[in-house]
């Protein structure tokens, strides 16, 4: 556990940026934030440094910190990398799967199913997240797990958006079933391929979704993309 104020502030700002409270290019004023969080500029500056390291803000010398949302092209690029990382997780997980993790994965899958039955998008979202997190762990590669989690988090708002596409939740669950089967039978290459496609298709669905958009009300975390 951390007792540093800067960490807490970073967390808050990160959430605010990821949920779209701060639009692209918005300048984060140190004094304003200092008042808002009731601390001095020092911990604010530390938080901004950390956000810059995660590439959530751009730090321009003598100018300030500016929120930096990924553009459309960058987003597609990120999905491309995420697909590969998940594919690797799948390949390794198929070889290194443990009984306990497999059963946890099945539980998460059950969670997806019942959420789908209830039409509870939020619950589906959480169970889906759990499924993927477990998969990362099953890779048995903690560095990979950390990297996958990092990117997953970064793509979180856009994945959520993409899940709202018509029929996507149902299709996603079908894919999960196939993935679970491949993992259970230890079919490494099948797992890798299925998972890569599973994520890649998210990027493509997202692409489709954006193509029709281009005029979205603010505050949805999308308005900053061209």
Partner DNA sequence: TGTCAAGCTCTTGTATACAAGAATATTGTT
Partner DNA sequence: AACAATATTCTTGTATACAAGAGCTTGACA
Q: Would you tell me which residues interact with DNA (CB under 7 A)?
A: 4-6, 27-31, 39-43, 45-46, 59, 61-65
Beta-sheet strand order (sheet of 64-67): 27-28, 64-67, 57-60
- Beta bridge pairs of residue 28: 65
Which of the listed partners (its own copies, DNA, none) does 29 bind, with a CB threshold of 5 to 8 Å by partner kind? DNA
Q: Which stretch binds its own copies (CB under 8 A): 78-86, 167-175, 181-189, 204-212?
A: 78-86
- Give the integer Cα–Cα distance in Å for 167 and 143: 34
Q: Which is nearer to its own copies, 106 or 207 (CB)?
A: 207
- Give the integer Cα–Cα distance in Å for 101 and 144: 17
Q: Which stretch binds its own copies (CB under 8 A): 30-38, 82-90, 121-129, 158-166?
A: 82-90
The single residue among 34, 102, 116, 144 that binds its own copies, judged by CB under 8 A, is 144
Identify residues 29-68 at the interface with its own copies (CB under 8 A).
45-46, 49-50, 53-54, 61-62
- Give the integer Cα–Cα distance in Å for 48 and 42: 10
Which of the listed partners (DNA, its own copies, none) does 14 bind, with a CB threshold of 5 to 8 Å by partner kind? none
Which of the listed partners (its own copies, DNA, none) does 39 bind, with a CB threshold of 5 to 8 Å by partner kind? DNA
Q: Are 205 and 157 contacting, i.e. CB atoms less than 8 angstroms apart?
A: no
SS3 content of the chain, % helix, strand, coil (to 5): 70, 5, 25
- Give the integer Cα–Cα distance in Å for 139 and 88: 8
Residues 6+ apart with CB under 8 A from 99: none
Q: Least distance to its own copies from the beta carbon of 73, Å?
A: 8
Q: Contact residues for its own copies (CB under 8 A)?
A: 2-4, 45-46, 49-50, 53-54, 61-62, 74, 77-78, 80-81, 84-85, 87-88, 92, 141-144, 147
């Amino acid at each position: 556990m951390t007792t540093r104020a800067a960490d807490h502030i970073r967390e808050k700002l990160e959430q605010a940026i990821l949920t779209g409270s701060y639009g692209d290019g918005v300048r984060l004023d140190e004094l304003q934030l200092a008042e808002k969080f009731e601390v001095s500029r020092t911990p604010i500056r530390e938080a901004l440094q950390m956000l810059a390291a995660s590439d959530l803000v751009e730090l321009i010398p003598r100018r300030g910190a500016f929120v930096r949302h990924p553009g459309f092209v960058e987003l597609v690029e990120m999905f491309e990398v995420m697909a590969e990382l998940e594919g690797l997780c799948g390949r390794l997980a198929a070889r290194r799967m443990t009984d306990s993790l497999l059963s946890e994965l099945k539980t998460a899958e059950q969670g997806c199913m019942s959420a789908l039955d209830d039409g509870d998008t939020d619950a589906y979202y959480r169970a889906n997240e759990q499924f993927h997190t477990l998969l990362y762990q099953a890779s048995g590669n903690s560095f990979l797990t950390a990297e996958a989690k990092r990117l997953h988090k970064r793509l979180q708002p856009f994945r959520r958006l993409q899940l709202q596409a018509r029929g996507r939740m149902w299709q996603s669950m079908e894919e999960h079933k196939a993935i679970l089967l491949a993992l259970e039978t230890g079919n490494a290459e099948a797992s890798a391929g299925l998972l890569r496609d599973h994520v890649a298709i998210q990027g493509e669905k997202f692409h489709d979704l954006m193509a029709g958009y281009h005029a979205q009300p603010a505050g949805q975390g999308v308005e900053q993309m061209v």
